Structure 1
Amino acid sequence: MTKGSSTPAAPRYGQPARPRNRRGEGARLREEIVRAATALIVRAGSEQAVTLRSVAREIGIAAPSIYAHFSSRDAIVQAVVEEAIAQLHQSITAAVTAHEDPVEGLLAGCAAYVEFGISEPARYRVLFETPPSKPDSSGLDTAENSGLNAFRTLVDNLHACVSAGRSTSTDPFADAVALWTALHGQVSLRAALPDFPWPPTDTVEQMVLRLGRITR
């Protein structure tokens, strides 16, 4: 290109340039950034794949464009975490509320938890590998708040089983912690040891009934 030429340079990352958002469409780019980061994590199996450059390359934009929506690479990963937790919470809540019987709701909610972890191993793993962001004015970061909401669904459901005379638990919170620990172990061990002769996933039901002190 000759000096003074106004011919535009080729896209920096070797991809067609992404069309510029019209006024008021900035939120769309933010969503695309989160989707791109999620895709990178799913493909690589780790949040280490996320960098400003890799996300920009995935979308077809210049890396500095990201700063209008995220202050850092860690902020992007945190957004991926928040989205994954929100989806997990939504799946659990939908499974629980689909049943009037509290025991069936508890079983369905726990099954939904394990199903998410098994079907979305990379997204599930990033929930527990990503350091929490700085807390907001409430003292809890957004992801932690969302995670606690998902856990409260489990606690509340176990309380409902106790109230209905279907559980002999005298400490639903402690028993819910034990149950969550077991569910997480189920997901993590299956991901870490895929060749182990695991029994059918209906063992989750046996685990829930035992740890929830459920009577059927």
Structure 2
Amino acid sequence: MGIAERKGREKAERETLIVATARQIAEAESWEAVTIRRLAREIEYSQPVLYAHFSNRDDIVAAVALQGFSELAAQLGEAVAKAASPQDALLRTSATYLDFALSRPALYEAMFVLPTGLLFGDAETRQELRAGFDAITVAVAPFCDHAEVVAETLWAALHGLAELERSNRIRPDLRDQRIMLVAQAIVAAKA
């Protein structure tokens, strides 16, 4: 292994450590606790080393968000694959999305609430972001002619439900009924 290869591997390992540590701190304490100074102390590198990898905290949040989008896409894809029918796929996708959002609050916040510079609905949209949207599109496609618009609408509805439940503004014991209502609206739209 050459010097350049070794340095590249070491840089990737440091970036992985920075992102993993940021994610751990955020899940344990909140994103407010994640600072460059704190990360440097936790991973035992100087702040300039962190700045050599990420220009600011928002870039670290974006790296965490990209991991989250990959994880969400995998779970949504699995939900669609396990479905027994198109309506089951729609219900499973919706439930999986909400379960993901509610079980990983700091990760979900990095993905959808905090500033990251990650763009959706753009020609430059990264594949990690696109994959989750594609899984939602597959779930709604049997029920509509304009799957991308319906997928965006379902995503918006699920995001709203997730945020309302995360902030204790709606009752969690009625989640299944809300999912059913959203799914029924999509199914009925085709009729």
The TM-score, its normalising length taken from structure 2, stands at 0.80
Residues 51 and 141 (structure 1), Cα distance of their counterparts in 2 relative to 1, 3 Å cut: farther
Amino acid in structure 2 at the alignment position of 1:189 = L
Matched-pair contact (CA < 8 Å) for 2:140–2:147: yes
Cα deviation, residue 141, structure 1: 5.1
1:73 matches 2:54: no
For 2:44 and 2:93, locate their aligned partners in 1 and report how far apart those are by CA, in whole Å.
39
Amino acid in structure 1 at the alignment position of 2:181 = M
For 2:90 and 2:78, locate their aligned partners in 1 and report how far apart those are by CA, in whole Å.
11
Q: Which residue of 2 aligns with 1:98?
A: 82
Matched-pair contact (CA < 8 Å) for 1:176–1:212: no
* RMSD, matched Cα: 2.6
Q: Deviation per CA, 1:73-119: give whole Å up to 9, x if none.
A: 22211101111111111111111112252222222121110000110
1:171 matches 2:146: yes
Q: Which residue of 1 aligns with 2:12?
A: 27
| Higher relative contact order, chain-length normalized (CA < 8 Å, sep 6+) | 2
For 1:139 and 1:182, locate their aligned partners in 2 and report how far apart those are by CA, in whole Å.
24
Matched-pair contact (CA < 8 Å) for 2:22–2:34: yes
Residues 182 and 90 (structure 1), Cα distance of their counterparts in 2 relative to 1, 3 Å cut: same
Runs of 4+ in 1 over 4 A off after TM superposition: none
The TM-score, its normalising length taken from structure 1, stands at 0.72
Q: Which residue of 2 aligns with 1:109?
A: 93
Q: Deviation per CA, 1:113-134: give whole Å up to 9, x if none.
A: 0000110112112222233437
For 1:96 and 1:126, locate their aligned partners in 2 and report how far apart those are by CA, in whole Å.
25
Q: Which residue of 2 aligns with 1:213?
A: 187
SS, match of residue 159 in structure 2: helix
Segments of 5+ residues of structure 1 without an aligned counterpart are: 1-21, 162-166
In terms of fraction of residues, the more helix-rich structure is 2
Q: Which residue of 1 aligns with 2:136?
A: 154
Q: How many percent identity over aligned positions?
A: 29
Larger CA deviation: 86-95 vs 206-215:
206-215
Residues 150 and 113 (structure 1), Cα distance of their counterparts in 2 relative to 1, 3 Å cut: same
For 2:18 and 2:171, locate their aligned partners in 1 and report how far apart those are by CA, in whole Å.
39
Q: Which residue of 1 aligns with 2:177?
A: 203
Amino acid in structure 2 at the alignment position of 1:185 = G
Corresponding residue pairs, total: 181
* Among 30, 48, 58, the residue aligned to 1:64: 48
Q: Which residue of 2 aligns with 1:186?
A: 161
For 1:139 and 1:205, locate their aligned partners in 2 and report how far apart those are by CA, in whole Å.
31
Q: Which residue of 2 aligns with 1:6?
A: none
Residues 122 and 90 (structure 1), Cα distance of their counterparts in 2 relative to 1, 3 Å cut: same
For 1:198 and 1:78, locate their aligned partners in 2 and report how far apart those are by CA, in whole Å.
29
Q: Which residue of 1 aligns with 2:3?
A: none
Cα deviation, residue 139, structure 1: 5.1
SS, match of residue 140 in structure 1: coil
